[in-house]
Structure 1
Amino acid sequence: MAEGIDVKDGPNDEGEYFERPGKPSDYMPSPYPNEEAARFANNGAYPPDLSLIVKARHGGADYIFALLTGYKDVPAGIAPRETQYYNPYFAGGWIGMPPPLNDGAVDYDDGTAATASQMAKDVSIFLAWTSEPEHDERKLAGFKAMVALTIMFGFTWYYKRMKWSPIKNRRLELY
């Protein structure tokens, strides 16, 4: 999928920029050409960079899932706002972003039902991965270190028992 997108790269030896096929390590391109276009498309609000949102919010991926699936009708007694939507999971209850997910918006290759809940789960897990792509390798390295330390402890304990047991059981008589 990354190779299907051309990425601006460079400069080359002549100081010019060029386009090349994308790699999985490339940054995702912005859907907007500049900040003004982004604000215009989002009712005047500049969309945030969500690559670290999971680490920045309490609850992480659960918060993102609740935010994406939490759009509700305005409760009785509260006046609706013209350019905002009611979402009780957002601070203040009002958010300028319209509901981003609709049932059937994507097609899954494995036949999974494309419900808003399933897509919200996929988005929150992806954002959790983008905030810490090294998470799995770090946990595996920690597990390997704990196994190695446990084995070393076993050998150390056995050596101590064998080496010191005759010395510990000696009786010294001083006259």
Structure 2
Amino acid sequence: LAQELGEPGFPLQSTLYGETAEVVDGPDENGEMFTRPGKLSDYFPKPYPNPEAARAANNGALPPDLSYITSARHGGEDYVFSLLTGYCDPPAGISLREELHYNPYFTGQAIAMSAPLYDEILEYDDGTPATMSQLAKDVCTFLRWAAEPEHDQRKRMGLKMLLIVGLLLPVTYYLKRHKWSILKSRKIVYRPPK
């Protein structure tokens, strides 16, 4: 999906996403909703029609919006990576309810979401081994990009600003030292009126 959207590190291929997605839009002038081909600027469709359906499908737990999870959580990508790869059996003496899973990186160590990643659940085109850590790294990278898709452009703009400021600073220093030196060396004498 990230390759189809053109980020991170892939050429933009808007036709792939636009040809396959149908987006409900509207209302039109008659007040009716209609479908149209998808665009890159469209939001991802929600997996559930409403919060009640989401709770029913997830053992009563409402799944969070993961758009900003790497920005919202302390540790960011490291937290998400640890959460995705940290599922294990509970240690001796800890018992969990039937629908909960043990994850030491989650607050309270009991999480309703089952382990979402397993080794070899997909196949990479370039032959990269599909280990759980590789999959978690890819998920974290995509979530970071989803939180700030303008990150690289903002950094490039910052570097351009630093370059411009670096060029203007000597000019400003020259103007201050040489062109305004007359005012600095001028002696102002106050003579009271007679």
TM-score if structure 1 supplies the norm length?
Answer: 0.85
* TM-aligned CA distance change 1:14 to 1:157, over 3 Å: same
Deviation, structure 1 residue 2: 2.3
Does 2:30 correspond to 1:2? no
How far apart are the structure 2 equivalents of 1:23 and 1:107?
27
Residue in structure 2 matched with residue 61 of structure 1 by the alignment: 77
How far apart are the structure 1 equivalents of 2:135 and 2:40?
21
Residue in structure 2 matched with residue 173 of structure 1 by the alignment: none
Does 2:99 correspond to 1:83? yes
The one-character-per-residue Cα deviations of 1:43-81 (angstroms, maximum 9, x if unpaired) are 111111111111111011111111001101111122243
Deviation, structure 1 residue 107: 2.5
Aligned residues: 169
Residue in structure 2 matched with residue 112 of structure 1 by the alignment: 128
How far apart are the structure 2 equivalents of 1:164 and 1:56?
50
Identity %: 59
How far apart are the structure 2 equivalents of 1:48 and 1:161?
58
Residue in structure 2 matched with residue 99 of structure 1 by the alignment: 115
How far apart are the structure 2 equivalents of 1:10 and 1:108?
38
Does 2:84 correspond to 1:51? no
Alignment gaps of 5+ in structure 1: 171-175
The one-character-per-residue Cα deviations of 1:5-26 (angstroms, maximum 9, x if unpaired) are 2110112233321111111221
Q: RMSD across aligned C-alpha pairs, in angstroms?
A: 2.2
How far apart are the structure 2 equivalents of 1:86 and 1:101?
15
Residue in structure 1 matched with residue 29 of structure 2 by the alignment: 13
TM-score if structure 2 supplies the norm length?
Answer: 0.78
The one-character-per-residue Cα deviations of 1:119-145 (angstroms, maximum 9, x if unpaired) are 111111111112112211111111111
How far apart are the structure 2 equivalents of 1:5 and 1:15?
23
Alignment equivalent of 2:143, drawn from 120, 124, 127: 127
How far apart are the structure 2 equivalents of 1:41 and 1:15?
32
How far apart are the structure 1 equivalents of 2:81 and 2:66?
13
Runs of 4+ in 1 over 6 A off after TM superposition: none
Residue in structure 1 matched with residue 54 of structure 2 by the alignment: 38
Alignment equivalent of 2:173, drawn from 134, 143, 157: 157
Q: Structure with the greater relative contact order (CA < 8 A, sep ≥ 6): 1 or 2?
A: 1
How far apart are the structure 1 equivalents of 2:76 and 2:126?
27
Residue in structure 2 matched with residue 24 of structure 1 by the alignment: 40
What is the letter of the counterpart of residue 143 of structure 1? L
Deviation, structure 1 residue 86: 0.6
Alignment gaps of 5+ in structure 2: 1-15, 186-194
Kept after mapping to 2: 8 A contact 1:2/1:21: no
How far apart are the structure 2 equivalents of 1:35 and 1:57?
22
What is the letter of the counterpart of residue 53 of structure 1? I
